[in-house]
Amino acid sequence: MDYQNIIVETRGKVGFITLNRPKALNALNDALVDELGVALDGFEADENIGCVVITGSEKAFAAGADIGMMAKFSYMDAYKGDYITRNWERLKTFRKPVIAAVAGFALGGGCELAMSCDMIFAADTAKFGQPEVKLGTLPGAGGTQRLPRAVGKAKAMDLCLTARMMDAAEAEKAGLVARVIPADKLVEEALAAAATIASYSLPVIMMIKESINRSFESGLNEGLLFERRVFHSSFALDDQKEGMAAFVEKRKAEFKNQ
Ligand code: CO8
C-alpha cells in the first residue's frame, strides 16, 4: 500500500508506524486511521512480527481529530459516516502488543489513540489532554472511558472538564504511562522494549495481552478464571517446553512461536 499519512517500517521483529501529517501536528482523519488499520492488518498477518510501536513527531504524537474537517460536520455526517471512529477499534482487536511512543502533544483523539495502545512510553516533553470541551464537544474515541480507568475518576474529570494538559511526570505518577524517557532516547527505548517482547514466544505474549485486557472488561473472579485457563493452555505449547528446559539447562531459550 502507498501510505500518505503514516510511515510503515519493520525493525527486525518489530512493526514501526510513524504518524506523518506534520503540518497539522498529526491531526487524525479518516485516511490516517484507515491506513493505520491496513498497517495493523499487515503486522497481524506477519508471523515474524511480535510487537508494534506507534510514534509521532518530536512536537506531537497527535493533536487530536482534524478540527478543520469536523467543523463542518452535521449530526448525520458524524453518525452515518462514523467519522474517524469507524475503524478505531482495529487497534483494540489487534492481538499483538502495541507500544505508543509519545513525544509532544497527545491531545483529544491523540490521547485516545495512545490509550488504545497497550502501554505508553512518554518522552519528557509529552503533554496529554482531552481538550474537546473547549471545542463544544467531548471525547469520542474512549477518552471518558479509558482515561478514568488509567488515572482514576478525579483526574479524568479534571482533565476532561477543564481541558488542562498533563505533563509526562504527572502522567507517570497517575498511572497513564509506563515509562518517562528523555526525548532523544524515546524511539530507541520503545523499539528496544518492543524487540525484547518480540523475542519471546508470540502465542505467550498474545495470551498475556489478552489476559491483562480481560482484567479491564470483567470482574475479578471471571478474570482470574480466564487467566487460569489460559495459563493451563500454555502447557500445550512447544515454547513452554523449550522455555522451561532452557532454564533448567542454563541456556537461552529459542522460541518457535508454537
Ligand atoms: N486539527 C487540525 N489541525 C490542527 C490540530 C487539529 N486537532 N491541531 C493543530 N493543528 C494545526 C494548526 O491548525 C496549525 O496549522 P496551520 O499552521 O495551518 O495554522 C498547525 O497544526 C500547528 O498548530 P499550532 O500553530 O496551533 O501550534 P501551537 O504549537 O501553537 O499549538 C496545540 C499546539 C496546543 C496542540 C494547538 O495546535 C491545539 O490546541 N490544537 C488543537 C488540540 C485539540 O483541541 N485537540 C482535540 C481535537 S477534538 C478531538 O480530538 C475529538 C476526538 C473525537 C473522536 C474522534 C477519534 C479521533
Q: Which of 135, 127, 122, 118 is nearest to 66 (CA)?
A: 135
Distance 246 CA to ligand 1 centre (A): 51
With a pLDDT cut of 70, the percent of the chain lying above it is 100
Q: Ligand 1, residue 83: give the atom nearest the CA.
A: 55
Protein residue with its CA nearest to atom 1 in ligand 1: 66
| pLDDT over threshold 90, residue 82 | no
- Is 109 among the residues known to form the active site? yes
Specify the range with the lowest mean pLDDT, choosing from 67-81, 115-129, 166-180, 199-213: 67-81
Mean pLDDT, rounded, for 53-73: 96
pLDDT value at residue 61:
98
Give the distance (Å) from ligand 1 centre to CA of residue 25: 6
Q: What is the DSSP string of 6-45?
A: EEEEEETTEEEEEE--GGGTT-B-HHHHHHHHHHHHHHHH
pTM: 0.97
To test the pocket of ligand 1, the residue of 29, 57, 67 to mutate (highest count of ligand atoms within 8 Å of its CB) is: 67
CB neighbours (10 Å) of residue 93? 9
Residue 88 DSSP label: T
The residues with which 10 forms a beta bridge, in sequence order, are 15
Nearest in space to 172 (alpha carbons), one of 194, 149, 150, 139? 150
65 assigned to active site: yes
Assess whether 58 carries a catalytic annotation: no
146 C-beta neighbours (distance < 10 Å), count = 19
